[in-house]
Structure 1
């Protein structure tokens, strides 16, 4: 229940940030967007139907036909994101009546940053923003010879062509800037908050150290015999991989058990095998 509350809190926060990015920056400045949001913007410009309402309507058939492909848990959470963020988009627009910022480039940058933060929070909670990614999976399941990446590329090309036709090529250019910023924001968060660290601890009181790391950090360790090159004292080398958010806890453990232990910490680019990413809130 605790994990469930934490995950849905992240979904709620991500949905709010996503809706603010669209309502405050994307729509007023007419910055293009791929996927369902871009299609909704085009239809809104032509017929005047609210973007949030259109987003829900366009996503309904995608979830119906793609339900089996994405799974019940993922579908329910993604549907919650779509409905909540879409309703908030229309609500924010009706209440605040956002006006475009004079500097569209600045709007694109802020839009990309907010998109990146919101998407990361939502993905971290095992959900998605729905949209044409589901359609790509449906097409891929029917036509196995078509690569998923190529399907996504064609979809983006079609949507951006519509955006360019309705809003002009400049809208697509700013959309690409926002998309680039979004990707870099996600990468920065991934590397900065949820990235892993490999730690080498050389100590004498290894038994208690290993026990506390196993129980408090919920991490397995690898232990090797070591000999001090200067003192010739026999020691233990403990190797453990933790998440960056656990680093302060590890420092406190080492300081309490053996303050003179040698500790080396370095970043890890990738991990294969039995390693569990912990869901953390910062």
Structure 2
């Protein structure tokens, strides 16, 4: 009797899995590169987890990469029981690869320009590119995004709204502790990276099936 292939033994399944993991790794590395080389040298937080990493580095000297990992994992653990452990696996992978990338690039790659406005522009565009690649694979780019999904599931508050207020609070706290200019840079970073995300998803993923996962109920 001929025994059918198990899903995990299907060559096409394995190819799709390898392709998905490769895209997740690429998006995470690009995101980590943008943070480490262009944004973090100016203490520009790219999101809530990055804002906490900047605060931990400023107040306690904790490396950005380690602070980023702990902050995002804390957000994730806080909400994992709302969304399920299986759906958290991709986010854990993203958080870990991004944090390792930040550590690598901080050690081995020197900022090329050291101009805050040019670094903000390039870092935001690269960050948006990395996040767009992750969104195409239906994974969150950080733990705070997972919190937004949990809030949406149980309180029906749009993820964009909850992310805005959570990130806004962390940005304001970071600006208060370090420098008020940071909040302006952080908001510009968010706007530029969001424009880049929309641009990439619009030109490469016009089909509704490839929209970001949080848009689906």
TM-score of the alignment, normalized to the shorter chain, above 0.5: yes
Aligned-residue Cα RMSD (Å) equals 2.5
Q: Deviations over 1:166-220 (max 9, x none)?
A: 3312222122222111111111112222225xxxxxxxxxxxxxxxxxxxxxxxx
Greater Rg over alpha carbons, structure: 1
Residue 124 (structure 2) pairs with residue 112 (structure 1)? yes
Q: Secondary structure at the match of 2:42?
A: coil
The total of aligned residue pairs comes to 198
Which of the pair is proportionally richer in helix? 2
Structure 1 residues 150 and 121, CA, compared in 2 at 3 Å: closer, same or farther? closer
Gaps of 5+ in 2: 1-13, 212-217
Aligned residue number for residue 174 of structure 2: 163
Q: Does the 8 Å CA contact 2:24/2:134 hold for their aligned counterparts?
A: yes
Q: 1:135 aligns with which of 144, 147, 151?
A: 147
Note closer, same or farther for the CA distance 1:156–1:59 as it changes in structure 2 (3 Å cut).
closer
**Conserved 8 A contact 1:25-1:108:** yes
Q: Which fold has the larger relative contact order, with Cα–Cα distance below 8 Å and residues 6 or more apart in sequence?
A: 2
- TM-score with structure 1 setting the length: 0.63
Alignment partners' CA distance in 2, 1:148 and 1:122: 16
1:69 aligns with 2:82: yes
TM-score, structure 2 normalization: 0.80
Unaligned runs of 5+ in 1: 197-270
Q: Cα distance 1:195–1:59, how it changes in 2: closer, same or farther (>3 A)?
A: same
CA contact (8 A) 1:69 1:137 kept: no
Q: Which residue of 2 aligns with 1:216?
A: none
For 1:13-162, what aligned pairs fall within 5 Å after superposition? Answer: 13-96=26-109, 98-99=110-111, 101-138=113-150, 144=155, 149-162=160-173
Aligned pair 1:177/2:183, yes or no? no
